[in-house]
Copies of this chain bind each other. A is one copy, B any other.
Amino acid sequence: MRSEAHFLELIDSHFSREHDFLALGRGDDCAVLRGGTDYCVTSDLFLEGEHFRRDYFSAADIGYKALAVNISDIAAMGAKPVAFTMDLMAPVDLPDEFWDEFLRSMAGLARQNDMVLAGGDLSRSDRLGISISAFGAPGSTGFLRRRNCAFGDILFTVGDIGLARTGLMALEAEGIKARETLPAAVMAHLRPKPKVMIGTLLNAAGIKGLMDLSDGLARDLPRFTGPDLGANLTIDPETLHNDLHAWCKAAGLDPVEFAVLGGEDYSLLGAVSPFDAGKARSVPGFMEIGTVTREPGIILNGKPFDNPGFDHFSQ
């Protein structure tokens, strides 16, 4: 980075300062989001060494994914993204070309989702890191929450499960050449597609609850149903992606177990009443995976699934 001043010019060249939802844009002590609507707010870290490696993430991949994971949280509220702030931790040795590519890619995704960059902060750092907070406006029935399902509700997903984990494993094992051997899996890890349109369609279709899968279906399910309910899942291996099957076959792994443990899917997990599921079923990608049970715990294809806890700190 040549200088902070130059970087701010680069930001201005990629990101507009104006948006219908902004009463005041970048450049003051704060930006101002216009009132008149509730806002949903999410905040996510994207850190070199923890969430990505520069070995196989290009500058464009990093800029894209740092924002995408935040947009996915807004999609999971059935909401419409409007704005974000970015705190950037920048190693001094990264060249202007890196930042240009990083910002161009992030700005492209922001534009697709009609989001404005409202502000942020910049600091030197040993490692590259991005902290983004993103804001969304309510969908047609307001915001969709977790823990809003009952015994007998239909559980469904939209989007692949386990595919991003396949991509991560392949990239870690084979590096950049995994882009050729398992292209869909690699793209699912590098460039997860936030399902904003799907989220708003599901919202309008009258579903009960929605969340995004970031730690894998098995770990996220109890967060979705709450601790007093469980899930009886039927997952047909044929619904899983070919790249996942190829990876699991080569590694001698069970594809369904691998899929339900897979993190960073950024697919959506939802619940809908069986008496009210007609519209939801017509949403593109809707995949019924089971039902909500009275008993906590997960039954997977007829057998109790022992859910291995995962903790970023204790493991």
Interface residues of chain A, those whose CB is within 8 Å of chain B, are 1-5, 7, 23-24, 27-45, 47, 49-51, 73-74, 76-77, 79, 83, 85-87, 89-90, 92, 118-127, 129, 131, 133, 135-136, 143, 145-146, 210-212, 311-314
- Whether A313 lies near B43 (C-beta < 8 A) is no
New A-B pairs, 6, CB < 8 Å, besides A28-B145, A29-B77, A129-B129: A29-B40, A29-B76, A31-B41, A33-B40, A41-B85, A47-B123
Residues in B with CB closer than 8 Å to A1 are 313
Residues in B with CB closer than 8 Å to A31 are 40-42
- Whether B42 lies near A33 (C-beta < 8 A) is no
With both beta carbons as reference points, the residue of chain B lying nearest to A27 in the complex is identified as B146
- Whether A41 lies near B87 (C-beta < 8 A) is no
Residues in B with CB closer than 8 Å to A5 are 311, 314
Copies in the complex: 2
Tell me which of A37, A40, A79 has the highest count of chain B C-beta atoms within 10 A of its own C-beta: A40
A45: contacting residue among B51, B87, B127, CB under 8 A: B87
- Whether A41 lies near B33 (C-beta < 8 A) is yes
- Whether A50 lies near B314 (C-beta < 8 A) is no
With both beta carbons as reference points, the residue of chain B lying nearest to A146 in the complex is identified as B28
Residues in B with CB closer than 8 Å to A38 are 23, 32-35
A230 to chain B, nearest CB (A): 19
A40: contacting residue among B32, B37, B77, B314, CB under 8 A: B32
